[in-house]
Amino acid sequence: MAGSANLNVMMKTARKAGRGLLKDFGEVENLQVSTKGPGDFVSRADKTAEALIKEELMYARPTYGFLGEEGKEVEGDDPTRRWIVDPLDGTTNFLHGLPHWAVSIALEHKGQIVAGVIYDPVKDEMFYAEKGSGAWMNESRMRVSGRHRLIESLFATGLPFAGRADLPETIQDLARLLPACAGVRRFGAASLDLAYVAAGRYDGFWERNLHAWDIAAGIVILREAGGIIEPLRPDGDILADGHLICANEPIFETFAKVIRQS
pLDDT digits (tens, 9 = 90+) for 110-137: 999 999 999 999 999 999 999 999 999 9
Neighbours of 233 (CB within 10 A): 13
Q: How far apart are CA 244 and CA 207, in angstroms?
A: 6
How much is the pLDDT for 35? 52
| Sign of torsion over alpha carbons 220, 48, 32, 123 | positive
Per the CB < 8 A criterion, the answer to whether 46 and 91 are in contact is yes
Per the CB < 8 A criterion, the answer to whether 101 and 89 are in contact is yes
Q: If we measure between CA atoms, which residue out of 231, 232, 235, 227 comes closest to residue 252?
A: 227
Check pLDDT > 70 for residue 262: no
How much is the pLDDT for 41? 84
Full set of structural domains in the chain with CATH: 5-142 (3.30.540.10), 150-260 (3.40.190.80)
CB under 8 Å to 42, separation ≥6 — which residues? Answer: 24, 28, 88, 91, 94, 95
pTM assigned to the model: 0.95
How much is the pLDDT for 172? 96
**Residue type (1 letter), 67:** L
Check pLDDT > 90 for residue 161: no
How much is the pLDDT for 27? 87
User: What digits encode the pLDDT tens for the residues 202-218?
Assistant: 999 999 999 999 999 99
Check pLDDT > 80 for residue 56: yes
